[in-house]
Amino acid sequence: MPDIVIYLGNKAYSSWSLRGWLACKLTGLPFREEVHPMDTPDWKAWIGARSPSGKVPYVTVDGAPLWESLAIGEHLAELNPQAFWPADRAARGHARSIASEMHAGFVELRKAMWMAVRNRFPGKGRTPGALADIARIEAIWAEARKRYGAGGPFLFGKSFGFADAMYAPVVARFRTWEPEISPATKAYVDAVWNHPFMAEWIKAAEAEPWKIAKYENPDPAA
Ligand SMILES: N[C@@H](CCC(=O)N[C@@H](CS)C(=O)NCC(=O)O)C(=O)O
């Protein structure tokens, strides 16, 4: 059995960490995790001594380094392919496309509505750029569900896969910031939020002792 270790930032705030951690969960294998609070005096030294990019998530498999959440997902998928990607080739291509679009984009949403799992900031963060990103994400989710989602509540049906993992931090953002979303989007948000992997992450985030002040204030300019 491979020895998998994942290095993470705060579960309350680190959206990329969540993606990498969900990829570890999708392997179905045991793994070890080390969480270190970001924005602390020793953060840069801690992550710099481990991750070549100086960012989390950082994963090792039998000591071999892995960084960048999409690459982490693709590599860990080799350990349990059917859990990560749909079996159907066209659906798999679609899943890879939307996972890549998430990895590459939605900067305005990420800036205006950061992940803060423990917080509720309803009505805040609605910049034009964030709203445009949300409209595109709603369209992505609706299209995947229409084409491939009939068998269950997730983007490709019955099982929570890696495309869902890539969008899970967006689900967390929607819970926190409560933008106006369609009933279908809300149903998907609820399905992801209530998935056992997410419940485990949220519970750990709730238990964390650390707070980063700038992420606790939804009106940074105020
Ligand atoms: N493109 C990277 C993004 C990783 C990233 O930006 N991680 C953030 C945390 S969510 C980070 O490490 N920030 C701390 C820092 O830059 O010092 C990925 O896909 O993993």
Answer yes or no: is pLDDT of 154 > 90: yes
Q: Is residue 219 part of a domain?
A: no
Are residues 51 and 102 part of one domain? no
Are residues 184 and 108 part of one domain? yes
Counting ligand 1 atoms within 8 A of each CB, the residue from 39, 55, 69, 103 with the most, and so the one to mutate, is 55
As for how many domains the chain has, the answer is 2
- The answer to whether residues 172 and 201 touch, using CB atoms and an 8 Å cutoff, is no
Distance (Å, whole) CA 169 – CA 45: 26
Phi and psi torsions of 66, nearest 5°: -140, 130
pLDDT single digits (tens) 72-131: 999 999 999 999 999 999 999 999 999 999 999 999 999 999 999 999 999 999 999 999
Average pLDDT, the chain: 97
Distance (Å, whole) CA 117 – CA 9: 13
140: domain CATH number is 1.20.1050.10
Pocket around ligand 1 at a 6 A CB cut-off: 9, 14-17, 38, 54-57, 68-69, 103
Domain range holding 183?
A: 82-205
Counting ligand 1 atoms within 8 A of each CB, the residue from 8, 13, 15, 16 with the most, and so the one to mutate, is 16
Are residues 194 and 130 part of one domain? yes
Q: Does this model's pTM top 0.95?
A: yes
* Residue nearest ligand 1's atom 17 by CA: 55
Distance from the CA of 102 to the center of ligand 1, in angstroms? 14
Secondary structure E strands in 18-93: 32-35, 58-61, 64-67
